[in-house]
Structure 1
Amino acid sequence: MRELTQEDVIAAVKGGSVFASGGGGWVDHGLEIGGAAIAIGRPKLVSIDELPDDAIILTCTAIGAPAGRDWQMLGRDYIKAVQLVQEKFDGQIAGVITPQNGMSSSINGWLPAAALGLVVVDATGDIRAHPTGKMGSLGLASRTDFETIQAVAGGKPEIGTYIELVTTGSPAKTSNILRTASDMAGGFIAAARHPLPASYVKEHAAIGGISLAIDLGHAILNAEAQGIDAEGILNVIEKKTGGAVIARGTVTQKSVRYSGAFDIGFITVASEDGDTYTLHVMNEYMAVEDEKGTRHSTFPDVITTFSLETGAPVSVGELRDGQSIGIFVIDKSRVPLSSSVKDPSVYPEVEEVLGIELYRYAFPTSEKAHA
């Protein structure tokens, strides 16, 4: 157990931005919420082994799409979402986890933990950011026999979009309800869900996910402090993660639209070696292909775009035509994988929206892939 500091906030945002895979929130929001957590009472980061097996852990997150135009999530909304679950849950909640790393999502639970006397557990529902709640639900998405509790809070009261909602039922159905609430609230909303015993989290989560982001962030900060240039920073990230820049080039087309609390579309990049790469987007980068149809990377690989001028990750929302970027990939074999991303039931809705296959490429030797 250790207290999280302001330096850890900055590091979590830096490292989380790499794992954000083009989404995962916003840097400014992460720094703001993380700073608020440290200001009101430093949250404590604990390993899953420091908790008894029956300690209840709650997932804290934000649901929506970065292109949502009129959303509002205040610090109190993150706290309120947890309180709504606490009021409904028959038991005591001990700690929180985040379902994913990201520019702000690595810090999702820090503020409610600090405000409500909970601990931040060093585990994530997925190492990288992903578009649907089911992909970070710790393998619960296909469970029809499990009744969960999910809650959201957020929106703008002055224009009548503020929503508080608590829903119980199967993980899949309640996740769809929360996505609709997010859209109604302006495109993003704070959420808390799935109170689960530590023993379950230990078996199904990506253990050590928060430390992974913080450690990477500190390595980036150290490189920046030494005045290392953009290429040098990318080299540091490659060595730290085992990832690699698979192409460098220029953005030639960005075709991404907002629909139902998702950012959906594709981005094309003309590479320096003459090839054209397509990044398929559903909030985050879900796959990379070249013009021959060769698949170079697929979720749950980490897929991130970096500015070649600054060495900093660039989100889908920040990318512009003509921008010089590197396409960076960490193979899934180099990161801990949760039960969620191995669950074939979480893929079909994303595959249908994008019009491409994912699961067959991600897990080619699985039973479903050969069915």
Structure 2
Amino acid sequence: MRELTRDDVNAAVKGGSVFASGGGGWVDHGLEIGHAALSIGRPKLLSVDELPDDAIILTCTAIGAPAGRDWQMLGKDYIKAVQLIIENYDGKIAGVMTPQNGMSSTINGWLPAAALGLAVIDATGDIRAHPTGKMGSLGLASSIDYETIQAVAGGKPEIGSYMELVVKGTPARTSNILRTASDMAGGFIAAARHPLPIKHIKKHAAIGGISIAIELGRVIMEAEPDGPEAVLEAVVHKTNGRILGRGTVTTKNVHYSGAFDVGTIEVSIPNRRLTLHVMNEYMAVGDDEGTRLTTFPDVITTFDLKKGLPVSVGDVEEGMEIAVFAIDKSKVPLSSSVKDPTVYPEVEEMLGIDLQSYAFDKEKTIYA
């Protein structure tokens, strides 16, 4: 157990931005929420072994797509979502965790934890960011035996889009309802879901996911004074990742659809072209010869070569010079969610590409 600090906030956002894989929120939002947490309380980071097996943990998250232009998520909305679960759950909540790392999502639960006296659990539903709630549902996406409870809060009261919603049912059905609520609220909404005992977290989560992001963030901050190239080299070394290519963004064709950002980004690199497939996050990269270079659940990140920092899908622009970076899934802890074949079909349908054969058969993934 240790008390989280302002340095941890900064490091979590820096490291989380790599695992964000082009999504996972926004740097400014992560810093704002993280520092707000420390201004009202002293959230503590606990390992999964520091609580009894029957202690109940909630997942805190934000649902939506960065291109949604009329959303509003305030700190109180994250707290309210957790309060709604507490009010409607027949049991005591001991702690919170995040479903994924990201520019702000690494810090998702820190503010409710500080405000409500809960622990922050050092585990993630997925080490990297992902587009659907099912991909961070700790192996429960297809379960019809587990009745979950999920809650959302957010939107703009001044235009009538603010809403609070509590739903109970199977993870798959309730996740779809929350995605619709996010769209109706303007494109993003704060959420809490899936009260589960810590023994389930131990078995199904990516253990240590928060510490991994914080450690990477510290490495990045140490390298920043030496310039962009030093940051890239430090990230590659720390993560055992690799640069797939450096070049110019030639085409960005990403559109907002039902609380998702979907499309492709093309990058011209020496002697070939890379195509990055986007559904909120980067889900796959291929080249113009039809070779798949990397695929979810690999970590896939774009770096702004001028700044040496991760750049999100929403901030990538045509003409920008970027590096495309990947960490093989064998180099990171994987949760049960990304090993569940039922979480892939809806994403494959929207993207129009195969993910499962690459995600589950490493020999079919070819790296440049």
Q: Which residue of 1 aligns with 2:366?
A: none
Q: Which residue of 2 aligns with 1:294?
A: 291
| Runs (4+) off by over 4 Å | none
The whole-number CA distance in structure 2 between the counterparts of 1:30 and 1:232 is 24
Mapping of 1:196-275 within 5 angstroms?
Answer: 196-224=196-224, 227-271=225-269, 273-275=270-272
The whole-number CA distance in structure 2 between the counterparts of 1:39 and 1:146 is 37
The whole-number CA distance in structure 2 between the counterparts of 1:365 and 1:3 is 39
Matched, 1:98 2:98: yes
The whole-number CA distance in structure 2 between the counterparts of 1:258 and 1:286 is 16
Mapping of 1:117-196 within 5 angstroms?
Answer: 117-196=117-196
Please, what TM-score do these two structures have when normalized by structure 2? Answer: 0.98
Q: Shift of residue 222 of structure 1? A: 1.2
The 3-state SS of whatever aligns with 2:237 is: helix
AA partner of residue 274 (structure 2): Y
The 3-state SS of whatever aligns with 2:87 is: helix
AA partner of residue 72 (structure 2): Q
The 3-state SS of whatever aligns with 2:15 is: helix
AA partner of residue 186 (structure 1): G
The whole-number CA distance in structure 1 between the counterparts of 2:92 and 2:107 is 22
AA partner of residue 266 (structure 1): T
Q: Shift of residue 142 of structure 1? A: 0.6
AA partner of residue 296 (structure 1): L
- Output one character per residue of 1:286-338: Cα deviation in whole Å (capped at 9) or x when no partner: 00000111000000000000011111000000001011000000000000000
Q: Which residue of 2 aligns with 1:352?
A: 349
- Output one character per residue of 1:20-68: Cα deviation in whole Å (capped at 9) or x when no partner: 0000000000000001000001200000000100000000000000000
Over aligned residues, Cα RMSD in angstroms? Answer: 0.8
Matched, 1:20 2:58: no
The whole-number CA distance in structure 2 between the counterparts of 1:101 and 1:365 is 23
- Output one character per residue of 1:93-139: Cα deviation in whole Å (capped at 9) or x when no partner: 00000000000000000000000000000000000000000000000
Q: Which residue of 2 aligns with 1:338?
A: 335
Matched, 1:55 2:52: no
The 3-state SS of whatever aligns with 1:127 is: coil
* Distance change (3 Å), C-alpha of 1:326 and 1:365: closer
The 3-state SS of whatever aligns with 1:82 is: helix
AA partner of residue 258 (structure 1): Y
List runs of 5+ in structure 1 lacking aligned partners: 367-371
The whole-number CA distance in structure 1 between the counterparts of 2:310 and 2:220 is 11
Q: Which residue of 2 aligns with 1:313?
A: 310
Please, what TM-score do these two structures have when normalized by structure 1? Answer: 0.97
- Output one character per residue of 1:62-82: Cα deviation in whole Å (capped at 9) or x when no partner: 000000010000000000000
- Output one character per residue of 1:207-229: Cα deviation in whole Å (capped at 9) or x when no partner: 000000000001111112xx212
The whole-number CA distance in structure 2 between the counterparts of 1:211 and 1:318 is 27
The whole-number CA distance in structure 1 between the counterparts of 2:67 and 2:10 is 24
The whole-number CA distance in structure 2 between the counterparts of 1:249 and 1:213 is 27
The whole-number CA distance in structure 2 between the counterparts of 1:53 and 1:155 is 36
The whole-number CA distance in structure 1 between the counterparts of 2:348 and 2:131 is 12
The 3-state SS of whatever aligns with 2:151 is: strand
Q: Shift of residue 365 of structure 1? A: 7.0
The 3-state SS of whatever aligns with 1:236 is: helix
The 3-state SS of whatever aligns with 2:226 is: coil
Q: Percent same amino acid among aligned pairs?
A: 74
The whole-number CA distance in structure 2 between the counterparts of 1:10 and 1:43 is 15
AA partner of residue 118 (structure 1): L
The whole-number CA distance in structure 1 between the counterparts of 2:220 and 2:312 is 17
AA partner of residue 16 (structure 1): G
The whole-number CA distance in structure 1 between the counterparts of 2:9 and 2:228 is 22
The 3-state SS of whatever aligns with 1:151 is: strand
Q: Which residue of 2 aligns with 1:42?
A: 42
The whole-number CA distance in structure 2 between the counterparts of 1:12 and 1:66 is 20
Q: Which residue of 2 aligns with 1:323?
A: 320
AA partner of residue 255 (structure 2): R
Q: Which residue of 2 aligns with 1:80?
A: 80
The 3-state SS of whatever aligns with 1:258 is: strand
- Output one character per residue of 1:192-244: Cα deviation in whole Å (capped at 9) or x when no partner: 000000000000000000000000001111112xx212111100001111111
The 3-state SS of whatever aligns with 1:24 is: coil
The 3-state SS of whatever aligns with 2:354 is: coil
